Structure 1
Amino acid sequence: MKKLLFLIPVLLILSCSKQAENENKKLNMLACEYVRLGLTIGQYDTDFVDAYYGPDSLKPKDSVVTDEFPKDSLLASINLLMNDLKDISRNAEVDSNRLRANWMYKQLIAFGERIRIVSGEYLPFDQETKQLFGVVAPTYDDDYFDKQIDLLDSILPGSGSVSNRFQRLEKKFVIPEDKLDVVMKTAIAEARKRTMAHYKLPANESFKLEFVEDKPWSGYNWY
């Protein structure tokens, strides 16, 4: 009897392991389709893909030969992929697979909205941000902001106006320029260490950090 009871959990573990393996394979296949679809859309919308540094095998094999934007076929491809991802996003055995599938599903919602925008179809602002980013900007009246200022007034140290005290506090968190390189490299090394505790990174994975001034953006990735 003890042997039988021992055998049952072993079979369950093996079954779960096999299910997780099949789940991973299916999700990886869908992820490749996701990348192919994104790159295909990028052939028609030059602002769609900022940078791609994945394998050439996922790039579209055929170049665009028409100026006609295939809205309907692209939306159909998006819907098919979303349907395939829906089950994994809700029922995946592995938590990371469920999160990964859900992330791609939400991205595909944005894919569809971007396609409609390029086609000249526009939604009201709040509906558009919901489709593109999954959020709606909150609306507050003046009383709300007055209360927030009063709250800051009660907790900020020192004397003077709320604005001046906030700026003085903010300056304490500014990294001195002569220490910026060391601080950033230390933070990057720690981030890499924490990431590797959960994910296996490629052996040659790396990037170069450079500091610039007088730019309209706070940061930029160049591949």
Structure 2
Amino acid sequence: MTSTLSHIAERYVQLVLAIGQHDASYVDAYYGPPQWQDDAASAKPSLQQIGDELAATLARLASVEVSADQETRLRATNLRIQLLAMQAKVAMLEGMKLPFDEESTRLYDAVSPHHARAWYEAIVAQVAHLLPGEGPASTRLQQFRQQFVIPPARLQAVMQAAIEAGRERTLQHIDLPPEENFVLEFVTDKPWSGYNWYKGNYQSVIQINTDLPIYIDRAVDLGCHEAYPGHHVYNVLLERDLVRGKGWMEYCVYPLYSPQSLIAEGTANYGIELSFTDEERLAFEQQVLFPLAGLDPALAPRYLAVNRLLARLAYADNDIARQYLDGSLSRGEALEWLVNVRLYPAEKAAQRLQFYDAMGAYVINYNLGQDMARAWVERQGATRAQHWAAFRELMSSPRTPTALLA
């Protein structure tokens, strides 16, 4: 039988589910035929068998005649890139150790820029200037931030308000199914601060980790990233527009360690700034979130100024993870970088190392993904309405990270 993209897509889904039998974290979401999931669990092919089938599927894909329209070509390219990332993941599960940049290239189709410590220290000096006092910048920052912790008893109300504000802004630009919804849960003992578990049928479970203090700025960040217009909207659009609308079954499964994650995390982070300009965010936090949290709204402008600077340290996460995982920084040295360069409190630094150990090069998807999504969206037009339209297109089209550079 001659292969078509539809046949390739079905085999792709089945192979993702097969890899998931060897790594419980690999399949982040699945809402396809239950029989395929059952078949993967009962057959449980070996990694060698999965690798052989991936090679055969890639060969079949190369022989498929693809029509000239852009959407079909993008779909075929996306399937190829995802399958290649699956080959890399299988090799890693078999014991292959990749350098950080090679891992990010093969799993996420992108490489993060490198910056020396001095580059970040110049930003740290600016943070210190905003926070005069005794001791290192990291200590002064943690003392300053204690004023902005959301009391646990108020966390539910603050998070619900932040998510609803993101939803209102999203619905002004993106039409969503009337039945879409989410459940908000608070959890502990996780290496991440927030997570969206998409369940299909336009439903999500959004979890917020309360192991560490949650600062007031994280309400908007997490609300937009995990819900609207981030992961929840992304998955709803994929299900409605691609799986149900076009019958593209490859999108009924989400392999976490794949190029799709750079698009998902990048759009989720870019969606924060798309939803709120700095001025809109300051007004919303001062007028709504600070009072809900019982915090002093007069402190909000200075806090925003500090957070603008801290955002410029984001790539330190990538550089610390790369050096730590490649072996040029010891655990103790990585913790020191996280505290004095990334300006995390000691407990957050320890949690971050736990994330690097568990997720490897995945960390690049947040900041590099955000920058790549922003650059692509803003090349599509100059107005905010055009940016929203391009953002929606990006979230519901089969673009790869490399395609964002074109």
Please state which band the TM-score falls in when normalised by the shorter chain. 0.5 to 0.7
The answer for unaligned runs of 5 or more in structure 1 is 1-25
- 1:178 pairs with 2:153: yes
Distance 1:33 1:195, change over 3 A: farther
1:73 and 2:53 equivalent? yes
CA–CA distance in 1 between the matches of 2:168 and 2:106?
A: 35
The Cα of 1:168 is off from its aligned counterpart by: 3.6
In structure 2, what residue type is equivalent to 1:160?
A: E
Q: Is 1:146 the equivalent of 2:121?
A: yes
Distance 1:194 1:46, change over 3 A: same
Relative contact order higher in (CA < 8 Å, ≥ 6 apart): 2
Alignment-derived partner of residue 201 in structure 1: 177
Q: 1:215 to 1:41 in 2, by over 3 A?
A: closer
Report 1:11-30 matches (<5 A): none
Shift of residue 182 of structure 1? Answer: 1.1
Equivalent residue number for residue 48 of structure 1: 26
* Alpha-carbon distance change, 65 to 140 in structure 1, aligned in 2, over 3 angstroms: closer
Tell me if 1:119 matches 2:119.
Answer: no
TM-score, normalised relative to structure 1:
0.61
**1:126/1:136 contact within 8 Å kept:** yes
Provide the C-alpha distance between the structure 1 equivalents of 2:96 and 2:67, rounded to a whole number of angstroms: 29
Structure 2: state its 5+ residue gaps.
200-406
The RMSD of aligned alpha carbons is 4.1
Q: Which amino acid aligns with 2:176?
A: K
- When structure 1 is superposed on structure 2, of 136-145 and 174-183 the one drifting more is 136-145
Change (3 A) 1:140 1:58: same
The AA in structure 1 aligned to 2:52 is D
**Residues 144 and 76 of structure 1: is their aligned pair in 2 closer, same or farther, counting only changes over 3 Å?**
same
**Counterparts of 1:170 and 1:123, CA distance in 2:** 38
Distance 2:141 2:99 in 1: 36
Give distance in 2, aligned partners of 1:173 and 1:142.
Answer: 28
SS in 2 for 1:146: helix
Larger radius of gyration: 1
More strand as a share of residues: 2
Number of residue-to-residue matches in the alignment? 191
Q: Distance in 2 between matches of 1:102 and 1:186?
A: 40
The equivalent of 1:91 in structure 2 is: 70
1:160 aligns with 2:167: no
Matched residues in 2 for 1:28 and 1:201: separation?
25
Structure 1 residue 127: deviation in Å?
0.8
The 3-state SS of whatever aligns with 1:200 is coil
- Structure 1 residues 135-178: Cα deviation after superposition (integer angstroms, max 9, x where no partner): 43544434324323223233x24433422332244334432323
Percent of matched pairs sharing the same residue: 36
Letter in 1 for 2:133: S
Give 1:210's aligned residue.
185
Deviations 1:200-223 (A, max 9, x none): 3362x4332222345554345566
| Partner Cα separation in structure 2 for residue 111 and residue 53 of structure 1 | 19
Matched, 1:39 2:17: yes
| Mapped contact 1:44–1:69 kept (Cα < 8 A) | no
